[in-house]
């Protein structure tokens, strides 16, 4: 059994064939999926999916790219929704210095607020980091994010950074990029970081693994991520599936 720990089934890309996508995931033994909402529209959809499907869980927060659009009312709304038993984390939050829609200081302020919210609710945090590793790690440390822990979603950093995050009570989640032929850092992380700290995800519909790179991603592809980790660690896919599933169940406090 596999758990896709980060998927956007609430994305417009699945509007035409969502049920078929879910059916293919279940057929591929991806038996649980964590759907991430990161603005008003996608949070509402994530909550709706978690209500409809007993094997779908929700993570809700506000994306750093859109930090400039987030109001205090939005944060209060997220806090209210997070009382739902199927909301398992706050996120995805963090920093994104690749896109310049939201100024860095606005992103950083919202990131800190969402860490505080996670601490208030005693929920882990799902971290988005793009071109901002130094500031992400600094803020996590300054705000004592280790008190609730979290996951570095679709991790693309070095083994050293992964170890730094693990020391702050964070898990490392690998997605499609670990399967790319030129993905030196994710492959190193897959090889060097102990299985007890790893989770797997698709981030679908984005970042499809090889051989689907460039196409729409979907949760049925998460076993391809496990296969690459197994290759790097010289383990069986079953061993990786068992460990990463157990890690996700524990991390998200999913009741079996």
pLDDT in the model for residue 100: 87
Q: What is the mean predicted confidence (pLDDT) over 168-178? A: 98
Alpha-carbon distance values, 39 to 8, 10, 36, 44, 56 (Å): 12, 11, 10, 8, 18
pLDDT in the model for residue 164: 97
pLDDT 10s digits, 219-238: 999 999 999 999 999 999 99
Rounded Cα gap, residues 98 and 178, in angstroms: 20
Tell which residue, 160, 161, 237, 153, has the closest CA to residue 200: 153
Tell which residue, 20, 37, 28, has the closest CA to residue 3: 28
Cβ atoms 1, 7 nearer than 8 A: no
Rounded Cα gap, residues 251 and 101, in angstroms: 32
For residue 47, what is the enclosing H or E element?
A: helix 40-52
pLDDT 10s digits, 40-67: 999 999 999 999 999 999 999 999 999 9
Q: Can you give the three-state secondary structure of 159-221, one letter per residue?
A: HHHHHHHHHCCEEEEECHHHHCCCCHHHHHHHHHCCHHHEEECCCCCCCCCCCCCCCCCCHHH
- Per cent of the chain over pLDDT 70 is 100
Rounded Cα gap, residues 17 and 118, in angstroms: 33
Tell which residue, 136, 68, 128, 139, has the closest CA to residue 100: 68
pLDDT 10s digits, 26-44: 999 999 999 999 999 999 9
Residue 151 pLDDT greater than 80, yes or no: yes
pLDDT in the model for residue 202: 98
pLDDT 10s digits, 64-107: 999 999 999 999 999 999 999 999 999 999 999 999 899 999 99
pLDDT in the model for residue 244: 98
pLDDT in the model for residue 256: 60
Rounded Cα gap, residues 56 and 114, in angstroms: 23
Cβ atoms 139, 115 nearer than 8 A: yes
């Amino acid at each position: 059994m596999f758990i896709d720990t980060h998927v956007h089934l609430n994305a417009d890309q699945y509007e035409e064939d969502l049920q078929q996508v879910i059916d293919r995931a279940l057929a591929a033994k991806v038996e649980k999926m964590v759907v991430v909402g990161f603005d008003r529209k996608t949070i509402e959809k994530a909550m709706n999916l978690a209500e409809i499907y007993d094997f779908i869980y929700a993570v809700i927060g506000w994306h750093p790219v859109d930090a400039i659009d987030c109001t205090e009312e939005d944060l209060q709304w997220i806090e209210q929704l997070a009382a739902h038993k199927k909301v398992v984390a706050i996120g995805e939050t963090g920093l994104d210095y690749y896109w310049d829609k939201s100024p860095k200081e606005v992103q950083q302020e919202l990131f800190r607020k969402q860490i505080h919210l996670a601490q208030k609710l005693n929920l882990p945090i799902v971290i988005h980091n793009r071109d901002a590793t130094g500031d992400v790690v600094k803020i996590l440390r300054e705000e004592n994010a280790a008190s609730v822990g979290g996951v570095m979603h679709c991790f693309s950093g070095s083994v050293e950074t992964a170890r730094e995050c693990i020391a702050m009570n964070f898990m490392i989640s690998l997605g499609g990029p670990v399967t790319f032929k030129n993905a030196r850092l994710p492959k190193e992380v897959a090889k060097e970081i102990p299985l007890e700290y790893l989770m797997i995800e698709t981030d679908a519909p984005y970042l499809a693994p090889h051989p689907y790179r460039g196409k729409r991603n979907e949760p049925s592809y998460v076993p391809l991520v496990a296969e690459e980790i197994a290759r790097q660690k010289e383990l069986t896919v079953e061993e990786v599936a068992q460990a990463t599933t157990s890690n996700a169940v524990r991390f998200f406090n999913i009741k079996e």
